[in-house]
A and B are shown apart, each in its own frame.
Chain A
Amino acid sequence: MDEIEVHLNVNGLPRSVQTLPCSTLLEILRDKLDLTGTKEGCGVGDCGACVVLMDGQAVNACLVLAAQADGSEIITVEGLAQDGQLHPLQHYFAEKWALQCGFCTPGMIMSCYALLLNNPNPSPDEIREAIAGNLCRCGSYQGVVEAVLATAKISAETRHD
């Protein structure tokens, strides 16, 4: 099979990769770009460990084919902290113990990030809905809800300043 060239903007940087058309966005990120923060938990869209933002929408990177991703803007967990400063979501995920083993955390954070882009002030139920596709076997869901609420609160305060 011939490789194709795929152009992406990943975490603000233009990237182009040679890849098989049947490869997935997850494989491109992890194997071609060495962005291993995005995890593979199942490879078939059941677990949400590989959630990234594609053109502002949360997607399971394991279900996006290379050609579908061509030309899109991708944000991964590595793209959130700026100049060594954690994004508030990252800060509150740690502080609220929204994580234990941490394997689901990158996908979980990206689902929450996507939620806050579209809904800056979500209710606990809306948060649970937004992360319903992110499995966490350690069961840190309540911590995630609290981390998102704290992030929304601090973001609102910052906006009003």
Chain B
Amino acid sequence: MTDFSVIGKPANANRSREIVTGQARYCPDIRLPGMLVGKLLYPKIPCARITRLDVTAARMLPGVVTVLTARDIPGENSYLYALPADQPLLVLDVVRYQGDALVAVAAETEEAAQAALDAVQVEYEPLVGVYDVLEAMKPNAHQVWSDRGNVCDHLVIDHGDIEAGFKQADVIIENTFYTPLVEHAFMETEGAVAYPDAATMVVYSSCQAPHRDRMQIARSLGMPENRVRVITPHIGGAFGGKDEAHVQIHAALLAQASGHPVRLIRSREESILTHVKRHPVIIRYRSGITRDGKLTALHAEAIGDTGPYLNAGRDVMNFVASTLSGPYFVPNARLEAYTVFTNNPICGAMRGYGIPQASFAYEAQMDLLARAIGMDPLEMRMRNGLETGMQVPTGVTIREGRGMKVCLQEAAQLSGWKEHEKENRRPAPHLRRGWGMASIWFSIGMGRNITDHAAATLEMTLDGSVILLTGAADMGQGAHTALAQIAAEAIGVNLDAVKVVTPDTDRTFDAGPSVASRQTFISGNAVLRAAQPIRDALLQTANEITGFPINILQLREGLVLAEGEVLSLTMAELAAKAAQRNRSLHADGFYAMEYPEQLPPNSYRYAPAVYTYGTQVAQVLVDIETGQVTIEKLVAVQDAGKVINPGGARGQIEGGVIMGLGYALMEELLVDQGSTQNPNLGTYLIPTAKDVPELTVKIMEIPEPYAPFGAKGLGEPPLTPTAPAILNAVVDAIGIPLYRIPLTPERILAAIDSQRAENPENGN
């Protein structure tokens, strides 16, 4: 099917009317009778033994209804994202980072809740802690866990023979790259509202994984899962930071203990201090290349500071390792990743899941390789770019790889890459202009041997309208809009005939978490599977009524057609007739990620199957007096498989690029001895409208054979090429290699100053 009536056509976001009128309810907007205010107590020092924790006085205060410590949790006192479940909900003995919660309170007012926290008596015996990832790896370092070692995981992916590969190289270069600790800064902080309703605990949760929330809440409340009901209201952004549970379990515990509805919303400062971050990673690269620009060998080693708890840390670092070779054919590679415990903030999922760090490093290294052999960066990438049928170090053979070079060439074309040399590189004595490019590959879905499936349910009513029930959370990325479009196209109705029932674990089935850019692909396939039997029932009925054979009948935009001619039979009549004939007009669809190809023995266990590609080109102007970088132009070309919703796709790409721009230029959480120094949006800066340059966005549609209508995920990939493209452009502008983001004015000036110190006669 190529002639779509809904797919790829402009459509407003599902529920956008509620948003623009202020009617959209997010967790902080939910009001229930008798609702209490929940709050959590966080420690004053990031690493300590608790010698005394006394809540007696807090419990006596007026307006205070419930005060909970670790001892008061009826079920398991831990989050459960990955095993071992090492992170307590409430800490009893040892504080391992600034975001550990000690006490949960529920009170009649905000003031009473704060007073209760102030009245808790805590005494600490400070521990020395470990706050530097390289220190943490040393044998005599402070051990974050007495029984686990600070190196939580060391993954090695071996491919080919790197010794032989380095022997074939004409040039070998080694560099070390550094990425910062980064904050999600979703505009709505983490929150939940919980209330007991008869024997069920109902929890409104601002989350990415409602069904995983249900399991975790039930486990800690000591209730069966069917007695916990998780509902997602509107969600004000997430970007990975609401993948693991945050305060929803605490809110439910407080509601259970108090018998009242409890609202628990983190303040902005609490949010920044507590939730998981994007890992700061140190990446060492050793690459071998021939004079004519062919990569022969690569040894890359990534070290990630994951904080004190497992969370998604090991999984993210595994993604780093599996991505380190980039969208290039590397015949011999050793890719390593260390996941290291410290007493710094916990790191886990953030948009990109390790791939932004890896992409930054391999693309910076690609340009330095090109520079080392005097080759144009575009030519260098064309010579090594992945193609269909090539095998990558994880053992996967690329089944659709055209996107790499198609995006690269398109970006080069759109940005006028070959004409740069004619442009003025020195528009003023203090200004330097430069160009940089970066290409990425990005895996869609969670990876082999990891649970990765979704259910969706469709019902056609007797007037021909459709209800789509999905358990997939929409945090703003547009999943519900895209899924409604897929449903409308697959059944043959208009988009406005589809209503979306949003996640509610009493009504919708598990679609897995909204992560890994997976919902369009996986829930999309589940919707297709749910649509098929409904469409079949309608067509069968139409055949019986009209006598036309099924192969000439068509359902489209709510009409019934035979050989393209609209029949007088309406969709409503057809639906009613089908029901009269005892045909089911509702169906569940279930889809699990498919891995049809067999990998060679000893391949990377979690190797993904589907990749998407993109290239970005940045033009920058650097003020060598102030160190200020201005992005003059940014071209983003992204493979999307097939665009489901043009507005949503554009939003995801532009939004990704802007987040990538922040990563490149300004975003860094500053942590001193485990304490975050910039825990608010006035000191942790994210891009504003004035920081965004002229963006040229182009989407390439190279259909993915296993995807719904060919559509691949688009949520994360567009942010990954931005930072390396900008870094490469800055390096091109000032002629000095740089290895660390963000590119703050201070860092750029320091690089220029050190260059001047080395070459005092060089006026540059």
- List the A residue with the shortest CB-CB distance to B183: A137
With both chains docked as a complex, state the minimum distance between the C-beta of A125 and any C-beta of chain B, in angstroms.
Answer: 9
**Which of A33-41, A64-72, A153-161 makes up part of the contact surface?**
A33-41
With both chains docked as a complex, state the minimum distance between the C-beta of B237 and any C-beta of chain A, in angstroms.
Answer: 4
Judge whether B655 and A138 touch: CB under 8 Å. yes
How distant is the Cα of A143 from the Cα of B655 in the complex, in angstroms?
10
* A58 interface residue per 8 A CB criterion: no
Judge whether A86 and B681 touch: CB under 8 Å. no
- Chain B hits for A78, CB < 8 A: 21-23
With both chains docked as a complex, state the minimum distance between the C-beta of B58 and any C-beta of chain A, in angstroms.
Answer: 22
Residues in B160-219 with C-beta less than 8 Å from chain A: 184-189
How distant is the Cα of A30 from the Cα of B31 in the complex, in angstroms?
10
**Which of B9-17, B72-80, B147-155 makes up part of the contact surface?**
B9-17
Judge whether B689 and A128 touch: CB under 8 Å. yes
- List the B residue with the shortest CB-CB distance to A110: B22
How distant is the Cα of A96 from the Cα of B656 in the complex, in angstroms?
17
With both chains docked as a complex, state the minimum distance between the C-beta of A100 and any C-beta of chain B, in angstroms.
Answer: 4
With both chains docked as a complex, state the minimum distance between the C-beta of A31 and any C-beta of chain B, in angstroms.
Answer: 9
**Which of B82-90, B472-480, B499-507 makes up part of the contact surface?**
B472-480
Judge whether A34 and B655 touch: CB under 8 Å. no
With both chains docked as a complex, state the minimum distance between the C-beta of A53 and any C-beta of chain B, in angstroms.
Answer: 13
A77, A95, A104, A138: the one contacting B21 at CB < 8 Å is: A77
B21, B25, B187, B475: the one contacting A90 at CB < 8 Å is: B21
Judge whether A36 and B29 touch: CB under 8 Å. yes
Contacts known (A44-B680, A97-B647, A101-B236); A39 close to B188, Cβ less than 8 A: yes
How distant is the Cα of A80 from the Cα of B22 in the complex, in angstroms?
10
- List the A residue with the shortest CB-CB distance to B681: A46
* A4 interface residue per 8 A CB criterion: no
* Number of chain B interface residues as a range: 35 or more
**Which among A35, A86, A99, A102 has the highest number of chain B CB atoms within 10 Å?**
A102
A42, A106, A137: the one contacting B268 at CB < 8 Å is: A42
Judge whether B239 and A137 touch: CB under 8 Å. yes
Judge whether B656 and A139 touch: CB under 8 Å. yes
**Which among A95, A134, A137 has the highest number of chain B CB atoms within 10 Å?**
A137
Judge whether A93 and B20 touch: CB under 8 Å. yes
How distant is the Cα of A72 from the Cα of B695 in the complex, in angstroms?
41
- List the B residue with the shortest CB-CB distance to A79: B22
**Which among B235, B681, B695 has the highest number of chain A CB atoms within 10 Å?**
B681
Residues in A104-160 with C-beta less than 8 Å from chain B: 104-106, 109, 127-129, 131-145
* A47 interface residue per 8 A CB criterion: yes
Judge whether B686 and A135 touch: CB under 8 Å. yes
A35, A94, A131, A139: the one contacting B20 at CB < 8 Å is: A94
- List the A residue with the shortest CB-CB distance to B652: A100
- Chain B hits for A99, CB < 8 A: 13, 16, 19-20
* B547 interface residue per 8 A CB criterion: no
How distant is the Cα of A54 from the Cα of B236 in the complex, in angstroms?
25
* B650 interface residue per 8 A CB criterion: yes
Give the number of residue pairs across the A-B interface with Cβ within 8 Å.
Answer: 175
- Chain A hits for B16, CB < 8 A: 93-94, 99, 102
- Chain B hits for A81, CB < 8 A: 21
With both chains docked as a complex, state the minimum distance between the C-beta of A117 and any C-beta of chain B, in angstroms.
Answer: 18
- Chain B hits for A134, CB < 8 A: 688-689
Contacts known (A76-B22, A100-B476, A129-B690); A41 close to B187, Cβ less than 8 A: yes
- Chain A hits for B461, CB < 8 A: none
How distant is the Cα of A76 from the Cα of B657 in the complex, in angstroms?
31
User: Number of A residues whose C-beta is below 8 Å from B?
Assistant: 56
A49, A91, A109: the one contacting B187 at CB < 8 Å is: A49
* A56 interface residue per 8 A CB criterion: no
Judge whether B651 and A138 touch: CB under 8 Å. yes
* A43 interface residue per 8 A CB criterion: yes
Judge whether A140 and B22 touch: CB under 8 Å. no
How distant is the Cα of A99 from the Cα of B267 in the complex, in angstroms?
23
How distant is the Cα of A80 from the Cα of B236 in the complex, in angstroms?
22
- Chain B hits for A36, CB < 8 A: 22, 25, 28-29, 31
Judge whether B680 and A42 touch: CB under 8 Å. yes
Residues in A1-58 with C-beta less than 8 Å from chain B: 30, 34-47, 49
Judge whether B22 and A139 touch: CB under 8 Å. no
* B692 interface residue per 8 A CB criterion: yes
With both chains docked as a complex, state the minimum distance between the C-beta of A115 and any C-beta of chain B, in angstroms.
Answer: 12
* B682 interface residue per 8 A CB criterion: yes
Judge whether A40 and B651 touch: CB under 8 Å. no
- Chain A hits for B277, CB < 8 A: none
Contacts known (A35-B22, A94-B13, A128-B690); A44 close to B187, Cβ less than 8 A: no
Judge whether B187 and A137 touch: CB under 8 Å. yes
- Chain A hits for B188, CB < 8 A: 39, 41, 101, 103
A34, A76, A103, A138: the one contacting B31 at CB < 8 Å is: A34
With both chains docked as a complex, state the minimum distance between the C-beta of B361 and any C-beta of chain A, in angstroms.
Answer: 24
Judge whether B20 and A140 touch: CB under 8 Å. no
Judge whether A86 and B22 touch: CB under 8 Å. no
* B710 interface residue per 8 A CB criterion: no
Judge whether A86 and B236 touch: CB under 8 Å. no
A-B contact pairs, 21 of them (CB 8 A): A36-B22, A37-B24, A39-B28, A39-B187, A40-B28, A42-B268, A77-B21, A78-B23, A81-B21, A94-B17, A101-B188, A102-B16, A103-B186, A105-B19, A134-B689, A138-B187, A139-B659, A140-B651, A143-B651, A144-B689, A145-B689
B interface residues, Cβ below 8 angstroms from A = 12-13, 16-17, 19-26, 28-29, 31, 184-189, 234-239, 267-268, 475-478, 647-648, 650-652, 654-659, 680-682, 686-690, 692, 695
6 shortest interchain CB distances as A-B pairs: A37-B22, A101-B476, A103-B236, A139-B655, A102-B19, A139-B658
A interface residues, Cβ below 8 angstroms from B = 30, 34-47, 49, 76-78, 80-81, 86, 90-91, 93-97, 99-106, 109, 127-129, 131-145
A86-B20, A136-B187 provided; 5 other pairs, C-beta below 8 A?
A39-B26, A39-B236, A101-B235, A101-B476, A139-B655
